[in-house]
Amino acid sequence: MVVPLFSKNIPAIKEFRHVSLRRRQFLGLAALGATGALVWQGRSLLQGPAPLPTTVSEIYRSEAGLLELTLEARYGDVILGGELAPRRMTYNGQIPGPRLEVKPGDRLIINFKNALDQPTNLHFHGLHLSPSGNQDNVFLHLNPGETFRYELQIHPQQRAGTYWYHPHHHGHAAEQLFQGLAGLIVVRGDLDDLPEIRAAQEEFFVLQDFALDGPGQGMMAAHMNLMMGREGSLITVNGLFHPEIAVTKDLVRLRLLNASPSRFYRLQLFGQRLTQIAGDNGAFSQPLERDELLLTPGQRAEVLIQAHGLPKTPIHLLSLPYQRAQMGMMGRQFSGITQAIADFTPKEVPFTPRRLPQDLIAVEPLPEPSRTRRFTLSHGMVPGQGMAFLINGEAYQDRPQTTVRLNEIEDWELVNLGTMDHPFHLHVNSFQVLSRNGVPEVPLVWADTVLVKVGETVKIRVAFRDFVGTTVYHCHILDHEDLGMMGQLEILPPA
Ligand code: C2O
Ligand code: CU
Ligand code: CU
């Protein structure tokens, strides 16, 4: 039996705990003045001690086709947004974790240790890897104290792009991400070799949000919050609160990852348009001009910013409100406020206008499918389980819900029957988004996570290539995934 969420028996949260947040909220709100005009009085608003310096994430690059490193999931006292955040979950003591840079065809060896007090594992989001053995195997239970050697063979045809790693132990994923566990994997390749791109100033933004009132308390325990998907009131860029980026080259190549468990980032560069050149799985075929960019949990994007013509004052990268649930008063708490999450400040003047590359990397449409499947997304009460999030009416079970054949091409219709938006994510094989409520989606891009809004039907096309084995698809609001919105996909050898 399935009944709509929030109809009854769900205790409402009376209030969120706001501990030591006054300064930040003030700063956040200050981005939009009382009249709605953008005013920014900058750090003169800051009273008290200067922010503490954040540990910079290490960068590891492959050499001669190999990158081998040691990665430990462990507790650490870190600086988040300029303040001490005790006992967060880190990779090698860093939030975000080390950035790993490889090339197609490389081997990536991670000597992993779980020094947490709960099980964990690693998932390599967006990479075309085997889902079995010691590759992208999300069914591993690595217990506290256990070590494991991941040996990844980066596919020779892996598209250059922005990928990432994070824990994927069912039931623990949202909490571990929210505590800080996430890091970038950058695949270098053809896009990086375009001369205009190569000359650009490259910046990586890992977007994370955190609760400041410590693990295991306050808002995290609130039932409602888990239903919605937890959000923290501190938004960070690479662990920093509102960093200022000095623009020193004619073109900035900004590479973004939403590593938050639930928060959507609706981004706008104040007064400027953004030129998007890549999404989840590498380059678009042509640059795409846009006023704003929506990044759901798990998604990545790359944008170019022309320095020529920018005002010489700091330019705010704004995070705008987004309503991801249709539930009246309750949902409103999650639509958020407008905040400046970073500033870009042009340093060297004058800048030269740069012609943007008009042709990037070709995106070839996939051939016609051999069949179409339908996946409904919903939530409701499940006997014996309580509130659960469901795919095709079923909460996650440890057996394949969907079986496909290697080398087949399929269309999947993703139908949102619920009252919340769900970003749908598939492991191992990326897909192309064909249409949204029957309207063709342009441009054609490679993706691994697609937003299915309330009431929408989104059609994607996927080819199952190279790897047999069992993997998963799920909602990338990781609380929804932990609460059941995940299915197993079995890829069988060709018939
Ligand atoms: Cu980034 Cu299965 O997830
Ligand atoms: Cu993934
Ligand atoms: Cu969801």
Tens digit of pLDDT for each residue in 267-326? 999 999 999 999 999 999 999 999 999 999 999 999 999 999 898 899 999 999 999 988
List residues near ligand 1 (CB under 6 A): 123, 125, 166, 168, 298, 425, 427, 474, 476
| CA-closest candidate to residue 319, choices 273, 243, 265 | 265
Reported as a pLDDT band with limits 50, 70 and 90, residue 23 is very low
Average pLDDT, the chain: 87
Q: Which atom of ligand 1 approaches the CA of 166 most closely?
A: 1
Going from the Cα of 176 to the center of ligand 1, the distance in angstroms, rounded, reads: 13
Q: Which atom of ligand 1 approaches the CA of 168 most closely?
A: 2
pLDDT in tens, 406-445: 999 999 999 999 999 999 999 999 999 999 999 999 999 9
Reported as a pLDDT band with limits 50, 70 and 90, residue 2 is very low
3-state secondary structure 99-158: EEEECCCCEEEEEEEECCCCCECCEEECCCCCCCCCCCCCCCCECCCCEEEEEEECCCCC
Residue 358 DSSP one-character state: S
Rounded to an integer, what is the distance from CA 458 to the centroid of its chain?
19
Residue nearest to atom 3 of ligand 1 (CA): 125
The pair of structure tokens assigned to 103 is 């090339």
pTM > 0.85: yes
Residues 293, 273: contact at Cβ < 8 Å?
no
Reported as a pLDDT band with limits 50, 70 and 90, residue 384 is confident
173 φ, ψ to 5°? -65, -50
Reported as a pLDDT band with limits 50, 70 and 90, residue 34 is very low
- Taking the C-alpha atoms of residue 240 and residue 56, their distance in angstroms, rounded to an integer, is 10
Q: Which atom of ligand 1 approaches the CA of 481 most closely?
A: 2
Residue nearest to atom 1 of ligand 1 (CA): 125
Burial degree of 84 (CB within 10 A; 0-12, 13-18, 19+): exposed
How crowded is residue 4: how many other Cβ atoms within 10 Å of its Cβ? 13
pLDDT in tens, 89-138: 999 999 999 999 999 999 999 999 999 999 999 999 999 999 999 999 99
Q: Residue 7: is its pLDDT beyond 50?
A: no
The pLDDT value given to residue 52: 74
- Across 6-15, 24-33, 404-413, least confident range: 6-15
Q: Residue 199: is its pLDDT beyond 60?
A: yes
Give the residue with greater pLDDT, 308 vs 31.
308
Give the residue with greater pLDDT, 9 vs 408.
408
pLDDT in tens, 318-372: 999 999 988 654 544 556 789 999 999 999 778 999 988 899 999 999 999 999 9
Residues 457-475: what's their mean pLDDT?
Answer: 98
The pLDDT value given to residue 204: 98
Residues 246-256: what's their mean pLDDT?
Answer: 96
Q: Which atom of ligand 1 approaches the CA of 427 most closely?
A: 2
Going from the Cα of 185 to the center of ligand 2, the distance in angstroms, rounded, reads: 12
The pLDDT value given to residue 214: 53
Q: Residue 22: is its pLDDT beyond 70?
A: no
Going from the Cα of 466 to the center of ligand 1, the distance in angstroms, rounded, reads: 20
